[in-house]
Amino acid sequence: MKRYFGSYGGQFVPETLIPALDELEAAYAAFKRDRRFQEELAGLLRDFAGRPTPLYLARNLSDQLSCRVYLKREDLLHTGAHKINNTLGQIMLARFMGKKRIIAETGAGQHGVATATVCALLNMECEVYMGKTDVERQAINVERMHMLGARVVPVEKGSGTLKSAINEALRDWVKNVKTTHYLIGSVVGPHPFPAIVADFQSVTGKEARAQFLKVENRLPDSVIACVGGGSNAMGIFKGFVRDTSVSLIGVEAGGTSLDLGHHSATLNCGSPGILHGAISYLLQDEDGQVADAHSIAPGLDYPGVGPEHSYLKDKDRARYAICFDEEALAAFHLLARQEGILPALESSHAIGYLISQKERFRDKAVIINLSGRGDKDMEIVRSGGTHHG
Amino acid sequence: MGKLGIYLLANYPSKEVFLEAVRACQDFGVDFLEVGFAFSDPVADGDLLERASFEVLKRHKVADFFESLGEVRRLFRGRIFIMTYANLVYRLGVADFLTRAGRIDGLILADLPLREITRFEQGLKGTGVSLIRFLTPESRDKDIASALKGAGGFIYFVSKRGTTGGGFELDGETKRKIAMVRGKGVDVYIGFGIRDRRHLEAVYQLADGAIIGTQAEAELEQSIESFKDYLQSLKRPPTLTDG
């Protein structure tokens, strides 16, 4: 496995973690070749998580936008989001490595819930770091994690969001590296995490490509997904990255404005920097201090982004657009009314982008990765977006 | 007697008290200083230094740290290292960072492991500034060999798995690793969790020097007097009541 995607990626972590990252990389290579483990994972993805997920032609939305919109229904997976693809993969990998204890970070709580779920399934000890602001605004997910037997550790320091939670998880890992697997939730962090998570999420893209070919007998014009850390986008992009006729569009959170501190549009507004183990685009000030991010969608509220996205951007293989808080909220309501689907606010950004650019997509066929369902966001939506810190 | 290095976070708890602490280190005969440049996401630091970093960043920009560094050089005659995180150097570029820093002996980047040093070391060539390499209780023989190859300044041996501060202990395996590094042409200094004279004695049995950070800052948070008393206590032989 290569440590870098072009000039992005790497392993910028304290020296103590390097042997563990090497162990993880070697174990992953062996795990991929181990037929028994691979079959067990495929079985769990099918019977426990609910794969394959449907590729659904959203007819009402399509009529309204004068294009054909297919939704990849990752929101129908167990625990309500694409996160379970990765947590099932990594928990099997952790068992393969003989690790007994799992730690994870979570922003919106979706990755925390998906981690707590697979830990319950495989009877592993589970601790989830979560920023204090997120603990407050995602109370239901905190309850879910408790019920699943996980310990939720609120992180009061720093911004109290995903960034602080990752800092704290990294500190835990440095201390407990012998016994513990850090089950990271997105395509971020030091190598080999971005590659491993992308691999586990690529099931979405492979399925979507085959499903689309079957119904349309051609490839889509565009594939659209929201990008925070970027795991659901990378998962669906992986299915189409070699199909150069398919445009890949990542949608970042424009928040309330494009002033630093008011958005999470890292690839659009950031510059290369080093955070959480990798060189990638980063929201930072002129000194290199990492800026606070903002989004109405807690899962997008992150000042960094996976290094492979930075690579795809610089290579012009993917394009990264922006959807503001208000546009995402409007898209949430539109999908609810038109299609009977309550999308996660994160996924609403992908839909919001399509709506705002409908002229560009007239008569085209697009796939949107509907990465999660919106039940977790009821409070934020009900308060018109004011309840998100 | 081994060497003693003190870590002080630049401009903490205030610029004045920080500089007084530097002066005290000079008076006491501290061998080298690590001047910390606060970073927004200090993942290698424990609670105290993280909290202190956030405090400093509320009031100061990196330009202020460079300015203070100039004063540190006037006050302190021993070696001076900057300790921070990779992004602050990456953002400015190594050359610009060094120009703004002026004369220093080395750079210590807490999130820069051996295998990522190349791009930073290239920028340091011919400057006389060393990029300090870390070894840890987790290091394998091949890591030790690669750290020693071309090492300058000193080898920073992290005493434990974990962040700065907390307890101090060295297991047998770690002691064996430290012994492997010793006497290979570059000094080995041990850091993380060292608090008192007793710890220093233990470190000097094994290595060429010790680095104290968190405990020094904890004393300085009390007052400059308590910091001075603390430095004094590091000289005194241990008594039965210590620890």
The DSSP 8-state label assigned to residue A375 in this structure reads G
Q: Is the pLDDT of residue B152 over 90?
A: yes
Q: What pLDDT, in 10s, does the model give residues B84-113?
A: 999 999 999 999 999 999 999 999 999 999
Torsion of CA A341, A345, A350, A354, to 10 degrees: 70
- ipTM at complex level: 0.95
Q: Are B87 and A288 in contact (CB under 8 A)?
A: yes
B171 is catalytic: no
Q: What is the pLDDT of residue B233?
A: 96
Query: How far is A207 from chain B, CA to nearest CA, in Å?
Result: 37
**Annotated catalytic residue within B16, B31, B41, B45:** B45
Q: What is the pLDDT of residue B242?
A: 45
Q: What is the mean pLDDT of residues A187-198?
A: 98
Closest CB to B138: pick one of A16, A158, A289: A16
3-state SS class at B136: coil
Chain B positions touching A287 (Cβ under 8 A) are: 61-63, 88, 91
Q: Are B213 and B199 in contact (CB under 8 A)?
A: no
Mutation for testing the B interface, residue in A4, A15, A182, A281 having most B CBs under 10 Å: A15
* B161:A282 CB<8 A: no
Q: Looking at the DSSP assignment, which residues form a beta bridge with residue B108? A: B83
- Confidence tier at A383 by pLDDT (50, 70, 90): confident
Query: How far is B44 from chain A, CA to nearest CA, in Å?
Result: 7
* B40:A14 CB<8 A: no
Give the angle subtended at the CA of B99 by the CAs of B94 and B102, to the nearest 5°: 120
Provide, rounded to the nearest whole percent, the portion of chain A with pLDDT above 90: 91
The label of the residue with tokens 């449907």 reads A54
* B138:A175 CB<8 A: no
* Spatial distance between the Cα atoms of B117 and A197, rounded to a whole number of angstroms: 26
Q: Are B7 and B22 in contact (CB under 8 A)?
A: no
Closest CB to A10: pick one of B40, B47, B116: B116
Q: Is the pLDDT of residue B119 over 60?
A: yes
* B44:A14 CB<8 A: yes
Q: Are A128 and A145 in contact (CB under 8 A)?
A: yes
- Confidence tier at B1 by pLDDT (50, 70, 90): confident
* B43:A19 CB<8 A: no
The label of the residue with tokens 């693809």 reads A85
Chain B positions touching A178 (Cβ under 8 A) are: 161
* A12:B51 CB<8 A: no
* B158:A290 CB<8 A: no
Active-site annotation of A, residues: 83, 105, 371
Chain B positions touching A176 (Cβ under 8 A) are: 161
Mutation for testing the B interface, residue in A8, A156, A287, A310 having most B CBs under 10 Å: A287
Domain boundaries, chain B: 3-232
Query: How far is B31 from chain A, CA to nearest CA, in Å?
Result: 25
The CATH T-level fold of domain B3-232 is TIM Barrel (3.20.20)
Q: Is the pLDDT of residue A282 over 90?
A: yes
**Annotated catalytic residue within B16, B20, B31, B34:** B34
Q: Looking at the DSSP assignment, which residues form a beta bridge with residue B1? A: none
The DSSP 8-state label assigned to residue B236 in this structure reads S
Q: Is the pLDDT of residue B239 over 60?
A: no
Q: What pLDDT, in 10s, does the model give residues A141-186?
A: 999 999 999 999 999 987 788 899 999 999 999 999 989 999 999 9
- Confidence tier at A1 by pLDDT (50, 70, 90): confident
Q: Which residue of B has its CA nearest to A173?
A: B162
Query: How far is A137 from chain B, CA to nearest CA, in Å?
Result: 23
- Confidence tier at A389 by pLDDT (50, 70, 90): very low
Q: What is the mean pLDDT of residues A48-56?
A: 98
Q: Are A369 and A224 in contact (CB under 8 A)?
A: yes
